[in-house]
Amino acid sequence: MNVSFENLQIKKIITHEVFKPENKTVKQPNVSDCLTTLPIDGLKNLQNRIIRVMGKESKSIKMDIALKSDDSCYYYSSECYHVEDEKFITVSKKIAERYSTAHTSAKWPGGLIVVISATITAINIPCIFIIKADEQSGFSKKIEESSVMLTYLQNVFLTPSSKLYKIGVFIKDKEYAYLFDSNIKSLKTESAATYFYSNFLGLSLPSDSKQNTRKFYELTTEFIKQTNLPDSKKIELQQALHIELKVSQNTVIEPLKFAEDFFPKELNQDYINYLKNKDFPTISISKDITLIKNKLKIRRLDFSTNVKITAPSESFNDLIKIGLKDNEGYTTIKVKGDLSNQN
């Protein structure tokens, strides 16, 4: 069962500055000796931003914990539950130092490591959030009489743009963690994600990725069949599912995004509720098509008269056109190409 972040309550925050390596050498962090304090509005905004990217139906991913040694983020986090400020500050510095060691490429920006002690769920389970926030710039506005003034701001962090921060969450007494990182979604940015979740946080992609991917395929296929949509729309949705799993470069599956991208709007919530009722996670999951690779190679259409049509999955839409059924019960099908063989 997924952990709920909806009742997030931040208890302590500390911030350390981290840097890119210089001349292929680790540059030590600029660590803080005291906790970070935020005004009430700032604290509320931070909590809301974390909930938005980590909460239910979000793009966060449940991860396995691969590293549990006494210099790992898992171990450091376990040292931060229910401790005095001084101990929390000391351990957080070790987390920042570990990050600096893991940051081996000058291509990746420096920024801030924010360590947060908090509680989640209705029973206030302790957890530790570790955030890597990239720097950006922006503007603030000020109204003066009849004009609007803009002030340029540098060194801005943790803005609503979720592409500029990554989050790892360790939860007390749990043998798994949660990750949010927009880079993990695509093979093109996989290396930028790996250094954070693997080298730094000590996490690995979940071992049940194969089973979850197969279950997503099977449940989504079944949901499509159960809808009252026209057959042509069902075929279109099934093709979208095949492309999402087999052709797309995304390394994660996002059920909510899949629904928003392909299902009619009125079916989005029905689909999510269907997955929930089947105990399937509605947060992002790691994609591994090993168990359904053969199924994804070929699309097959079965007709009530025992007629079957198959075609390569990737080019199905280009090769097969399904028309309407006439009054005599015939469905018009157009196949691109010449008849080359028959048995």
Find the mean pLDDT for residues 179-205.
78
| The pLDDT value given to residue 232 | 82
Question: Which pLDDT does position 315 carry in this prediction?
Answer: 75
Render pLDDT for 167-176 as a digit per residue (tens, 0 to 9): 999 999 999 9
- For residue range 227-248, list pLDDT tens digits in order: 999 888 888 899 899 889 988 8
Q: How far is CA 64 from the centre of its chain?
A: 14
Distance between CA atoms of residues 231 and 237, nearest Å: 10
In the β-sheet with 176-180, what is the strand arrangement from edge to edge? 9-18, 111-120, 125-133, 165-171, 176-180, 61-65, 203-204
Give the torsion through C-alpha atoms of 60, 66, 71, 74, to 10 deg. Answer: 40
Closest CA to 14 of 27, 1, 33, 30: 33
For residue 140, what pLDDT band results from cuts at 50, 70 and 90? low
Q: What is the pLDDT of residues 48-80, one digit of tens each?
A: 889 988 876 567 888 999 999 999 999 999 999
Q: Are 310 and 333 in contact (CB under 8 A)?
A: no
Residues 129 and 118: beta-carbon distance below 8 Å:
yes
Q: Is 189 exposed, middle or buried (0-12, 13-18, 19+ CB in 10 A)?
A: middle
Q: Which has the closest alpha carbon to 6: 131, 123, 168, 121?
A: 121
> Mind listing the pLDDT tens digit for each residue in 260-302?
999 999 999 999 999 999 989 888 888 999 999 888 887 777 7
Q: Where is pLDDT greater, at 176 or 189?
A: 176
User: Is the CB of residue 77 less than 8 Å from the CB of residue 170?
Assistant: yes
CB 2 within 8 A of CB 62: yes
C-alpha closest to that of 65 among 174, 165, 194: 174
On average, the pLDDT of the chain sits at 85
Closest CA to 13 of 100, 89, 77: 89
Which 3 state secondary structure label does DSSP give 92? Answer: helix
The tokens of 291 are what? Answer: 């168990």
